[in-house]
Amino acid sequence: MPATATSSRPASAVAMRFGRFAAMGTVAALILVAGVWASWGTAQHVMLTKGRERGAVEVARCGAQACWGRYAPLSEGSQPRARVVLEKSVAVARGRTYTVVLKPGGDEAVRSGPAGVLYAWIPLGGALLLASVVVAGGLLRTRAAWVLALSGVALLTAAFVTV
């Protein structure tokens, strides 16, 4: 009988393991990219403030989804406005004043400073938590999953405390 090399695993098991790793890695990467994409829409205005109008908004009224009030400029070249819209969240209260950055070409404002930065990245915090479950269950990488989960919890906790 000729000597043949026998493998401890059939080729189909190796292919299935690689397929699972590729599929779950792709899902985890897509979740993280979606989190960054959702966060960047607001975060770009808060983090890249050079050339943008910065000021303060004293919230006068709040509706179901937005609050608005008088805008007082703090940056050079910014003009005062009678009405600026600020997204309503649990952290926005009537009668309080918030530092904001105006989005270009409109009267919509986003909160600035550390509270605004952390609030803008909340979708990424949720994506980190969701991706940690995929990494732990689908990729069987528990250490990496713990790093993702703890990063998401830290981001969400910091946003909660700051806002």
For residues 151 and 130, is the Cβ–Cβ distance under 8 A? no
What pLDDT score was predicted for residue 87?
A: 85
b (16+ CB within 10 A) / e for 48-82: eeeebbbbbbebeebeeeebbbbbeeeeeeeeebe
What pLDDT score was predicted for residue 51?
A: 86
What pLDDT score was predicted for residue 4?
A: 58
What pLDDT score was predicted for residue 2?
A: 58
What pLDDT score was predicted for residue 150?
A: 98
For residues 160 and 50, is the Cβ–Cβ distance under 8 A? no
What pLDDT score was predicted for residue 5?
A: 55
DSSP 90: T
What pLDDT score was predicted for residue 6?
A: 56
What pLDDT score was predicted for residue 93?
A: 84
Residue ranges of the chain with pLDDT lower than 70? Answer: 1-8
- Do the strands 81-87 and 97-102 form a parallel or antiparallel pair, or are they unpaired? unpaired
What pLDDT score was predicted for residue 22?
A: 94
What pLDDT score was predicted for residue 37?
A: 97
Report which of 147, 111, 121, 119 is spatially closest to residue 132, judged by C-alpha positions.
Answer: 147
